[in-house]
């Protein structure tokens, strides 16, 4: 019965480990490293204009935004509800979305106020049946736009059209690429200088969450290694004890020189077991500080706010937030499983009857 419980615990441990690895890999696929999200609070009263953000992009750091509205697009006497997103040329780079065909509009296209549009894959296939549509024309808000390309934004629920933001409107949320020469406080101060109130926006970094998500996997892996080494240490300690008992028995029966000549392997085994034990202890001591560092970082993580914005940037951050909570749940489950396994193993061996070894 106890062997079955241990097997189930090992299955749980491996499952939790694979889950942490999968979440770590999936977080990398979001392509959200070194980003700072500025999203309004529930009591927001101040706004920043798209022109001000473009000025910041030219002078200081790369940023992007979404100005979303609902439109109806008519193609071949058929109407399609679409989400029109006005943004800038940096949108694909900062959002981590790939171009499926064609290209996104460039900085020069935006400056020249060209009427160019980029459809998401869902809209391209719903309206034209394929994504090879570069050069075609669509009519939006009584203006004709030339389709420049198709963006694979992974959104299968909405028909989305991206166009250059040429009017001075205010996006709800925006995102900034954090270069090494800029700190979060510097970016906040530059935005506040444009008229934002600090209390009206959440400034959320992506790197702390990504660090915790990746750290959860590495800490979980170190716990599994520590558990394996502790089980191995228990086994080697018993072997060392048996070896010492054998040497004591030989020392009582023969002179040291005599039994060393007749039993050289016994001494070699003694040093081998002792060396392996010291190596295991050294590895465990090496792994423990990483867990302590992780929990210090985790403890100092600021509270994650509730976000009301529906921009793609906010949705990516919410995905990271959910991945973080899932990774913490898996890490707790892994810790409990390893603890139960070790307690069960050590209790079983501690309560097992000891047998006295006899040596000839």
* Whole-number pLDDT of residue 196: 76
Report residue 167 as tokens.
């009017």
Of 295 and 250, the structure prediction assigns the larger pLDDT to 295
| 50 & 198 share domain | yes
Residue 358 in domain: no
* Whole-number pLDDT of residue 254: 67
| 126 & 271 share domain | no
| 229 & 250 share domain | yes
Residue 357 in domain: no
C-alpha dihedral (229, 232, 238, 241), degrees to nearest 10: -60
Of 237 and 320, the structure prediction assigns the larger pLDDT to 320
CA distances (Å), 317 to each of 54, 190, 200, 203, in order? 22, 22, 18, 12
- If you average pLDDT over residues 263-288, what whole number do you get? 83
- If you average pLDDT over residues 154-175, what whole number do you get? 86
Per-residue b/e over 14-34, b at no fewer than 16 CB within 10 Å? eebbebbeebbeebeebebee
| 15 & 156 share domain | no
Residue 355: which pLDDT band, with cuts at 50, 70 and 90? Answer: very low
| 345 & 228 share domain | yes
Residue 192 in domain: yes
Residue 359 in domain: no
Of 336 and 244, the structure prediction assigns the larger pLDDT to 336
* Whole-number pLDDT of residue 78: 85
| 177 & 224 share domain | no
Number of folded domains that form the chain: 2
For tokens 């991206």, name the residue. 162
* Whole-number pLDDT of residue 360: 41
* Whole-number pLDDT of residue 200: 81
- If you average pLDDT over residues 53-69, what whole number do you get? 83
| pLDDT > 60? residue 351 | no
CA distances (Å), 6 to each of 12, 13, 153, in order? 10, 10, 45
| 224 & 286 share domain | yes
* Whole-number pLDDT of residue 359: 41
- If you average pLDDT over residues 242-268, what whole number do you get? 71
Report residue 359 as tokens.
């040596």
Q: Which of 187, 204, 221 is the last residue of a domain?
A: 204
Residue 260: which pLDDT band, with cuts at 50, 70 and 90? Answer: low
| 280 & 174 share domain | no
Sign of CA dihedral 159, 163, 165, 167: negative
Residue 329: which pLDDT band, with cuts at 50, 70 and 90? Answer: very high
- In whole angstroms, give the CA distance from residue 203 to residue 41: 10
- If you average pLDDT over residues 19-24, what whole number do you get? 96
| pLDDT > 90? residue 39 | no
Q: Which of 146, 172, 204 is the last residue of a domain?
A: 204
- If you average pLDDT over residues 155-164, what whole number do you get? 91
Lowest mean pLDDT: which of 172-176, 185-189, 253-257? 253-257
Residues 6+ apart with CB under 8 A from 268: none
What are the start-end ranges of the H helices in the chain?
2-28, 50-59, 91-95, 107-111, 121-128, 184-192, 207-253, 256-262, 264-299, 312-351
Residue 268 in domain: yes
- If you average pLDDT over residues 50-77, what whole number do you get? 84
Q: Are strands 174-177 and 35-40 parallel, antiparallel or unpaired?
A: antiparallel
- If you average pLDDT over residues 280-295, what whole number do you get? 88
Residue 324 in domain: yes
Q: If phi over 0 gives left and psi between -120 and 50 gives alpha, with beta otherwise, what is residue 194?
A: alpha
- In whole angstroms, give the CA distance from residue 245 to residue 266: 11
* Whole-number pLDDT of residue 349: 53
* Whole-number pLDDT of residue 275: 85
- In whole angstroms, give the CA distance from residue 149 to residue 152: 10
Q: Which of 150, 181, 204 is the last residue of a domain?
A: 204
Residue 320 in domain: yes
| 151 & 279 share domain | no
For tokens 């030219």, name the residue. 58
Residue 24: which pLDDT band, with cuts at 50, 70 and 90? Answer: very high
| 90 & 193 share domain | yes
* Whole-number pLDDT of residue 356: 46
CA distances (Å), 339 to each of 10, 280, 343, in order? 11, 19, 6
Report residue 118 as tokens.
């980029």
- In whole angstroms, give the CA distance from residue 173 to residue 156: 22
* Residue 360: CA count within 13 A, CB half-sphere: 0
Residue 356 in domain: no
Residues 6+ apart with CB under 8 A from 181: none
Q: Read off the pLDDT of residues 182-238 as tens digits, 9 standing for 90 and up.
A: 778 888 888 878 777 777 888 888 888 999 999 999 999 999 999 999 888 888 878
| 165 & 150 share domain | yes
Global confidence as pTM: 0.79
- If you average pLDDT over residues 136-141, what whole number do you get? 88
- In whole angstroms, give the CA distance from residue 70 to residue 250: 90
What mean pLDDT is reported for the chain? 84
Residues 6+ apart with CB under 8 A from 111: none
Of 234 and 243, the structure prediction assigns the larger pLDDT to 234
* Whole-number pLDDT of residue 42: 74
Beta carbons of 283 and 190 less than 8 angstroms apart: no
* Whole-number pLDDT of residue 2: 66
Backbone φ and ψ of 331, nearest 5°: -65, -40
For tokens 């459809």, name the residue. 119
- In whole angstroms, give the CA distance from residue 61 to residue 360: 80
| 51 & 26 share domain | no
How many percent of the chain have pLDDT more than 70?
90
Of the spans 39-43, 151-155, 231-235, 325-329, which averages the highest pLDDT?
325-329
* Whole-number pLDDT of residue 298: 81
| Domain span holding position 108 | 38-204
């Amino acid at each position: 019965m106890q062997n079955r419980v241990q097997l189930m615990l090992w299955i749980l441990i491996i499952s939790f480990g694979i889950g942490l690895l999968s979440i770590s890999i999936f977080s990398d696929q979001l392509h959200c490293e070194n980003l700072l999200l500025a999203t309004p609070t529930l009591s927001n009263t101040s706004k920043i204009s798209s022109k001000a953000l473009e000025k910041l992009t030219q002078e200081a750091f790369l940023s992007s935004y979404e100005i979303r509205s609902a439109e109806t697009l008519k193609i071949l006497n058929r109407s399609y509800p679409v989400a029109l997103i006005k943004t800038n040329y940096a949108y694909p780079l900062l959002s981590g979305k790939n171009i499926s065909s064609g290209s996104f509009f460039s900085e020069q296209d935006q400056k020249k106020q060209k009427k160019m549009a980029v459809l998401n894959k869902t809209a391209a296939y719903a309206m034209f049946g394929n994504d090879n549509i570069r050069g075609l024309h669509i009519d939006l808000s009584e203006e004709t736009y030339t389709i420049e390309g198709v963006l694979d934004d992974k959104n299968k629920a909405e028909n989305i059209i991206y166009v250059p933001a040429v009017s001075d409107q205010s996006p709800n949320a925006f995102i900034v690429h954090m270069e090494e020469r800029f700190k979060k406080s510097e970016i906040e101060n530059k935005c506040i200088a444009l008229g934002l109130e600090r209390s009206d926006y959440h400034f959320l970094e992506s790197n702390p969450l990504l660090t915790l998500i990746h750290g959860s996997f590495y800490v979980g892996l170190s716990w599994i290694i520590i558990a394996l080494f502790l089980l191995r240490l228990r086994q080697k300690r018993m072997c060392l004890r048996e070896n010492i008992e054998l040497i004591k028995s030989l020392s009582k029966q023969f002179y040291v020189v005599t039994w060393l000549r007749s039993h050289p392997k016994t001494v070699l085994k003694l040093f081998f077991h002792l060396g392996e034990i010291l190596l295991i202890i050294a590895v465990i001591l090496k792994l423990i500080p990483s867990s302590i560092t992780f929990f210090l970082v985790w403890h100092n993580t600021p509270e994650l706010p509730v976000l009301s914005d529906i921009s793609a940037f906010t949705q990516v951050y919410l995905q990271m937030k959910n991945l973080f909570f899932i990774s913490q749940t898996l890490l707790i489950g892994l810790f409990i499983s390893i603890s139960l396994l070790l307690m069960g193993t050590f209790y079983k061996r501690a309560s097992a009857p000891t047998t006295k070894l006899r040596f000839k």
